[in-house]
Amino acid sequence: MNPSMAAAHRKTFVAAMAAGGGGVAIFRTGPEKVRNRDVHFPFRPDSDFWYLTAFPEPDAVAVLIAAPDGEDNGAASSDRFVLFVRPKDPEMETWHGRRAGIDGATALYGADEAHSIDDLDAELPKLLRGAARLFYRTGDAGSEDFDRKLLSSLQQMYARTRDGVTGPATIVEPGTLLHEQRLVKTADEIAVLRRASVITVEGHRAVAAALNPGMYEYELEATVNGVFRRRGGWGPGYPSIVAGGDNATILHYTENDQPIADGALLLVDAGCEVDGYTADVTRCYPASGRFTDAQKALYEVVLEAELRGIGRVAPGNTFHSVHEEARRALIEGMLAIGLLTGSLDEVLEGGADQRFFMHKTSHWLGIDVHDVGKYWTDGAEADKTSRPLQAGMVLTVEPGLYIAADDETAPEEFRGIGIRIEDDVLVTADGHEVLTGDAPKTIADVEAACAAGAGAR
């Protein structure tokens, strides 16, 4: 992410803090995590921290200070961005890579001031002093030590009220402001998501062209993930699912270690992450290059459901209406091919379809693959309704059918087939745009994409 994007995000967030009375917000990015012994997992910044700072290093803390509109909040100065980072260390940088350091935090990432992370305990109380509210999320995994330190600092501050020292009286979940902001994407964010989508489509087309019966799932995983890296992405935004045959009936299958049988259908759920933003696309490819009659019948049901769900994506329509439309289409299709019996209303009421379609149709998409933002309107529990869509939101549409291999209640020809079709959809001012629409999706286009590598078969 360009630091200028993060600066724009900070400006909007600080303005929202100021409008509600100002305060101090604290965001942390985690440390490197040990994978085994002295080997670490690849580091990826915390999503909120990344959105507001574009700072890519571990062990950092961002403090944003917002005065109430028209006032000074009592802190040393108003509306500041303060970064606490690892200092420069030539020996450590020789072993583990360059650091921005304190000077880089200001010169490269736009901090108004920066300190060593080692000085956090001494400096943080100064930044909190006089603030009416503290925006901070407690209870995150791995944050226990920091939570204790922060709460201890607040208690010490409260104990000095006779000396005129004041501190935040209220701790506010920052997501109440920030996650609603993150939900509606800016033009810059949409541009990044477009790039992630283009690379993701290339990865899926590469899988279709490379697929041969007898290949192992991990070979195709390497194909799609390799495209993501070769094209400049960070890699997959989540563990790629490459599931052949009845492995596709496992929703989050990631072992990816089995051979792909001739005649099997391969489900690939993979999305490229670019500058912290990820695409999320699922397609199904016949290992032999052509769908069987049973695969085709199920695929057409899922495709119709996806297209009808996408058709509901428009400003003013509710988020849940996308799922309702896709579910209705799936039920109608399952009744038509004999996978379900009864009437549409009976299945809608009784939920018999959930045996084959056990998840929702959509989720928000952005910096997190299951991105943040409310799905329901505010209000009492009984009064909550699905929120209306608005321009700038990005969501997936991903209906599926999953018939377990041992489900003796299903017609035999459908057993062991899992199908999901998923696209990333931007809500526009007058409707929607399918960001990933170039990934082959119709039966004719999927078979043509597979035929692109037919010479190797």
Residues carrying an active site annotation: 38, 252, 269, 280, 359, 363, 370, 398, 402, 420, 422
**CA–CA distance, 127 with 82 (Å, rounded to integer):** 9
Distance CA 206, CA 186 (A): 30
Burial class of residue 257, CB neighbours in 10 A (0-12, 13-18, 19+):
exposed
Amino acid in position 262: D
354 CB-contact burial (10 Å; exposed 0-12 / middle 13-18 / buried 19+): exposed
Q: Output the CA angle 137-142-144, nearest 5 degrees.
A: 65
One-letter amino acid of 312? R
DSSP-derived secondary structure letter, 394? E
CA distances from residue 271 to 71, 141, 241, 253 in whole angstroms, order as listed = 45, 25, 10, 15
Number of neighbouring beta carbons within 10 Å of residue 66: 27
What letters, b where the CB count within 10 A reaches 16 and e where it falls short, cover 206-244?
A: bbbbbbbbebebebbbebbbebbeebebbebbbebbbbb
- Buried-state track 6-42, b at ≥16 Cβ within 10 A, e below 16: beebbeebbeebbebbbbbbbbbbbeeeeeeeeeeee
Buried b / exposed e across 387-421, counting CB within 10 Å, b at 16+? bebeebbbbbbbbbbbbbeebeebeebbbbbbbbb
Residues linked to residue 386 through DSSP beta bridges, in sequence order: 376
Provide long-range contacts, Cβ within 8 A and 24+ apart, for 383-389.
Answer: 385/318, 386/318, 386/319, 386/320, 386/321, 387/318, 387/319, 388/315, 388/316, 388/317, 388/318, 388/319, 389/313, 389/314, 389/315, 389/316, 389/317, 389/318, 389/319, 389/427
